[in-house]
Amino acid sequence: MKNISVIGAGTMGNGIAQTFAQGRFEVHLIDLNKSILEKAKKEIEKNLDRMVKKNLITLEEKDQSINRIHFIPEIDQEIRESDLVVEAATEKLEIKMALFKKLDELCSEHTLLASNTSSISITLLASTTKRAEKVIGMHFMNPVPVMKLVEVVKGFQTSKETTDRILDLSKKLGKIPVEVNDYPGFISNRILLPMINEAIYSLMEGVAGISEIDSIMTLGMSHPMGPLYLADFIGLDVCLAILEVLYQGFKNPKYAPCPLLVNMVNSGYLGVKSGKGFYTYAPDSKEKTISQIPFLIRN
- Please tell me what DSSP assigns to residue 217: I
Residue 227 main-chain phi, psi, to 5 deg: -65, -30
By 3-state DSSP, what share of the chain in percent is helix, strand and coil, each rounded to 5? 50, 15, 35
- 139 given a catalytic annotation: yes
Q: Which CATH architecture has domain 3-181?
A: 3-Layer(aba) Sandwich (3.40)
Q: Which of 115, 121, 151, 202 is catalytic?
A: 151
CA distance 295 to 263: 9
Q: Are strands 135-140 and 112-115 parallel, antiparallel or unpaired?
A: parallel
- 142 given a catalytic annotation: no
Fold classified for 190-290: N-(1-d-carboxylethyl)-l-norvaline Dehydrogenase; domain 2 (1.10.1040)
Q: Are strands 288-290 and 84-87 parallel, antiparallel or unpaired?
A: unpaired
Give the residue from 149, 124, 146, 147 showing the smallest Cα distance to 138: 149
Listed by start position, the domains of the chain span: 3-181, 190-290
In this prediction, residues 155-180 reach a mean pLDDT of 98
- 28 given a catalytic annotation: no
| Predicted pLDDT of residue 298 | 59
- Per-residue pLDDT tens digits for 26-62: 999 999 999 999 999 999 999 999 999 999 999 999 9
- 151 given a catalytic annotation: yes
- Per-residue pLDDT tens digits for 246-269: 999 999 999 999 999 999 999 999
- Per-residue pLDDT tens digits for 269-287: 999 999 999 999 988 777 8
pLDDT band at residue 81 under the 50/70/90 scheme: confident
Q: Which of 139, 170, 197, 202 is catalytic?
A: 139
Q: Which of 47, 82, 116, 118 is catalytic?
A: 118
pTM for the predicted model, two decimal places: 0.90
